[in-house]
Amino acid sequence: MVVWSELRRWSPDRVGLVGDHLAARSRRVAGLQDELDDAGPADWSGAAADAAAGDLRARRRELEELAALLSAAVRAVDDAENAVRELVRGAESVEFFASRNGFRIADDRVVQVAAHGGAHLGEVLHAEVRAILTTAAEVDGELDSALRRVLADGTGAAGTTTPAAADPVARHRELLVRHQVKPDGTTTWPSGLTGLIADAAGRGRTTVTLAEADLLDDLQRRRGLLGVKEFADVQADALETAHERFGPGGLTDGHGDAFRHAYWNALMTRRYGEEWTRDFATAHERAPTGHEVPVAMDLHNNEVGRDIARANPDAGPGELAELVERAVRDGRTLVVDRSDVLVPSNEVAVGQTRASDVKPWPVNVNRGDDRDPGKPSAVPDGY
């Protein structure tokens, strides 16, 4: 069953990335077929030559079967991408119409937040929401069935639902494809007079990405030093609450870390708006020393926090903390297990995640081709 908050996280572009990945593998298989067709010296004869030719034909048939499976998967993913794009457009239109008429959609329900909406309009919106969710479930089921057939035909794994469900490592790889961002340069922040004031106050300076620095400089121009302090307090609150709810262990790549990132993004969304929060949280993950695994974990958990805040616009910090903790314990967030694999946070016990504090990640140098989010342009709400 697809729920509204989950649907609003669906991304046709991410589905397309999976299709592109499969299409690239399909082209590679086609190239291997051509290489096999050209293999073997033309003037070779005898029993050994016949045996080699037979082996090449067998390998050629295997490649043909693999190419057919990949083509089927590509078609299924392409169909899903188009369907998801239409669903996302429909959901955005319904949410916009609802907000213009005194309603909002939360937990699959249409909630009236202004007196001018009217009961009949609420019923119409409810029907639209149910129709969209029904279509989403159909799309999800069709892709699941298509991939199930591919797996059954290709590996004998009938009964598995998706490649991710069949193999945690496959799910891990899919998450790495879905949640990455291109590294950025770094600088020391704050600088100038603000840096001297920070030094005098004992707050010190820190290394941030260039995009982070741009956003923080803009925030300071709009709100001054008090605005910068308020932002720092939000960060500190997220860390302190994570420690209170999950203890000191797991604050790096564990359940406390998952909570911290999701709660931080929920608090920022409540204070600065979703667009600015997305820009800043993404900029924060662009450190050139970041490894792709914790980067993927953080980007996913950041998104979960923003989704929670968007779905609960009237929630205060305490209620948001409860909702985020529930998301961690229900497995909506990600952690890293002791095999360095990304897993839902309800699939590994608290305290049993990767010990990254004593086993640091190696510096990753292979992120140059990841998605470039461009220069941040969002403006914080209320400024």
The winner for highest mean pLDDT among 132-146, 155-169, 179-193, 247-261 is: 247-261
Q: What is the pLDDT of residue 293?
A: 92
Q: What is the mean pLDDT of residues 368-381?
A: 84
pLDDT band of 10, cuts 50, 70, 90: confident
Q: How far apart are CA 188 and CA 195, in angstroms?
A: 9
Answer yes or no: are the C-beta atoms of 343 and 335 closer than 8 Å: yes
235 pLDDT exceeds 60? yes
Distances (CA, A) of 231 to 220, 296, 341: 10, 24, 32
Distances (CA, A) of 105 to 101, 222, 312: 12, 32, 9
Q: How many CA atoms lie within 13 A of 355 on its CB side?
A: 3
Q: Where do the domains of the chain lie?
A: 4-165, 186-344
**DSSP class per residue in 295-341:** HHHHHHHHHHHHHHHHH-TT--HHHHHHHHHHHHHHT-SEEE-TTS-
Pick the range with the lowest mean pLDDT from 125-129, 181-185, 287-291, 308-312: 125-129
Question: What sign does the dihedral 114-117-123-125 (CA atoms) show?
Answer: negative
DSSP annotation of 156 reads S
Q: What is the pLDDT of residue 272?
A: 96
Q: What is the pLDDT of residue 50?
A: 62
Q: What is the pLDDT of residue 41?
A: 59
308 pLDDT exceeds 60? yes
Q: What is the pTM of this model?
A: 0.59
223 pLDDT exceeds 50? yes
Q: What is the mean pLDDT of residues 77-105?
A: 86
